[in-house]
Amino acid sequence: MGKQALKLKRIQDAELKDKKVLVRVDYNVPLEGTTVTDQTRIQETLPTLKHLLESNCKIILLSHLGRPKGVVDDKFSLKPVVPVLKQMLKTQVHFGVDCMGPDAEKLVAKAKPGEVILLENLRFHPEEEKNDTSFAKALAGLGDYFIQDAFGALHRSHASTVGIPKYLPSAIGYLVQKELEFLDRTLGNPQRPFLALLGGAKISDKIGVIHRLLERVNTLLIGGGMTYTFLAAQGVSVGKSLVEKDKIQDAEKIIEEAYNRNVAFLVPADHVMVKEIRPGAPTLVSQAMAVQEDWIGVDIGPHTVELFSEKIAESKTIFWNGPMGIFEMEPFSHGSVEIAKILAQATEAGAVTVVGGGDTLAVLAKAGAADKMTHCSTGGGASLELLEGKVLPGLSALSQEN
């Protein structure tokens, strides 16, 4: 946070009139067959695309979808995005079956200014993830200018994030600007009290971000699977709950740092427990911080929801990443859904709420609260790396100091 002091050119400051503009977007959308089931990631790029259409540009869109591992696989085709874009932009949207090569070149030559070309999944070529120079050059050769608007891909050093800007004048689009404003500027200089709520399966991938957050927050609330490593670190019994034994020392250090920094550090005071993880398994509320022998903690309990709710209501800036329980199974989604509703109320009461991570956004959707946050980050990994203070490769590649 705050460390991302890179000089980045913005789309609104770039001379783009009548140009062929390559735009890296993150259309890694969920599909059911050939239907896009959540259009948020497409919707979020509209400000950038509309700006380019108003500048009479030919727009060439590049994206990845899923993990096809360098081979053509129809399951990961971007074609289903075409009708969605057509409907949203009310303009001609061409589809290129390959993101590079003669077909892509012909398509770009044929399209008229004010039209859009969506090229097929970049990751059908292994060169994308290897950041291959010739591949990046071939992509760059399709346009006159490069706009980076794929926030969710900025923590990756791929051809379409760090390669292309070597060969084209480049700028960041409106979505990347919005993400940086909330994740970097707002959370870097928050209105206080500042509260962070972290959940998800494991502590291991969040240790760095927790340390950074402890430097900033007034309150840190922990939920989800990582709870049990913290409880184990405090000598509380956790039954058969998920514990990362090799991270207990890290958890101890975090607890100590929270104490030294005077950060209110809360772990769940009760849990919803099961004897086996399956939908419909009989549940029991622990009534205490300890998880009984043979039981597994799968969600925060009602007393915890109340305690967390009080802390959230006292806060002016709130960041949430990671579900409070195994939310994918209906009976264990209750705690996460309640927290989503409490955050929606906090937003309405004037707090700034910033939510990140694919699972957490899925919880918001479940709670009908997706549009009730100040900002929903489209990039899980990228948002955590940014909060951790890491310089995102996709941004340093665009820095004007390069």
Active site residues: 41, 202, 358, 381
Tell me which residues in 184-223 interact with ligand AMP (CB under 6 A). Answer: 200-202
Contact with ligand AMP (CB under 6 A): which of 328, 330, 348, 371? 328
Nearer to ligand AMP, 163 or 199 (CB): 199
- Least distance in angstroms from the C-beta of 153 to ligand AMP: 18
**Cβ nearer to ligand AMP, comparing 231 with 351:** 231
Q: Does 152 bind ligand AMP (CB under 6 A)?
A: no
Contacts of 104 (CB under 8 A, 6+ apart): 96, 98, 117, 119, 142
By the 10 Å C-beta count (0-12 exposed, 13-18 middle, 19+ buried), 66 is classed as middle
Task: Kindly identify the residues of this chain, within the stretch 341-360, that bind ligand AMP according to CB under 6 A.
Answer: 357, 359
Distance of CA 118 to the CA centre of its chain: 23
Q: Exactly one of 143, 152, 165, 225 binds ligand AMP (CB under 6 A); which one? A: 225
Query: Which structure tokens are listed for 374?
Result: 């100040």
Amino acid at 157: S
Helix axes 380-387, 207-214, angle to 10 degrees: 50
Measured CA to CA, the distance from residue 272 to residue 232 in angstroms comes to: 17
Least Å from the CB of residue 23 to ligand AMP: 28
In 136-201 the beta strands, taken as DSSP E runs, fall at 145-148, 170-172, 194-198
Q: Is 274 in the site for ligand AMP (CB under 6 A)?
A: no
Closer to ligand AMP by Cβ: residue 96 or 224? 224
Local structure of 147: helix, strand or coil: strand
Q: How far is the CB of 163 from ligand AMP (least distance, A)?
A: 28
CA 11 to the chain's CA centroid: 22
Closest residue to bound ligand AMP by CB = 200
Per CB under 6 A, the list member of 326, 340, 361, 367 interacting with ligand AMP is 326
CA distance 120 to 98: 5
The interface region with ligand AMP, picked from 88-96, 262-270, 324-332, 364-372 by CB under 6 A, is: 324-332
Q: For ligand AMP, which is the closer residue by CB, 163 or 322?
A: 322
CB of 192 to ligand AMP, least distance (A): 26
Closer Cβ to ligand AMP, 159 or 298, answer by number:
298
Q: How far is the CB of 326 from ligand AMP (least distance, A)?
A: 4
**Minimum distance from residue 202 beta carbon to ligand AMP (Å):** 5
Shortest Cβ 157–ligand AMP spacing (Å): 22
Identify residues 303-322 at the interface with ligand AMP (CB under 6 A).
322
In the bound state with ligand AMP, the residue whose beta carbon lies nearer, of 143 and 357, is 357
Angle between helices 46-54 and 81-89 in degrees, nearest 10: 60
Instruction: Enter the tokens of residue 105.
Output: 């070149």
Q: Which is nearer to ligand AMP, 165 or 322 (CB)?
A: 322
Interface residues for ligand AMP in 278-307 (CB under 6 A)? 297-298
Q: Long-range CB contacts (< 8 A, 24+ apart) of 67-76?
A: 67/123, 68/121, 68/123, 68/124, 69/123, 69/126, 70/123, 70/124, 70/125, 70/126, 70/127, 70/128, 70/129, 71/124, 71/126, 72/124, 73/124, 76/121, 76/123, 76/124
In angstroms, the Cα distances linking 146 to 8, 48, 121, 150, 181 are 13, 12, 17, 12, 21
Using CB under 6 A, pick the residue from 108, 242, 354, 398 that binds ligand AMP: 242
Rounded to a whole number of angstroms, the minimum distance from the CB of residue 359 to ligand AMP is: 5
User: Which of these segments, 11-19, 42-50, 211-219, 325-333, binds ligand AMP (CB under 6 A)?
Assistant: 325-333
Say whether the peptide bond before residue 30 is cis (omega within 30 degrees of 0). Answer: no
- What does residue 202 show for φ and ψ, rounded to 5 degrees? -125, 155
Q: Contacts with ligand AMP: how many residues (CB under 6 A)? A: 16
Dihedral in degrees, nearest 10, Cα atoms 357, 359, 363, 368: 60
Adjacent-strand bridge partners of 283: 274
**Beta strands in 53-127, from DSSP E residues, in sequence order:** 58-62, 93-96, 116-119
Q: Which is nearer to ligand AMP, 96 or 200 (CB)?
A: 200
What residues make contact with ligand AMP under the rule CB under 6 A?
200-202, 224-225, 242, 297-298, 322-323, 325-328, 357, 359
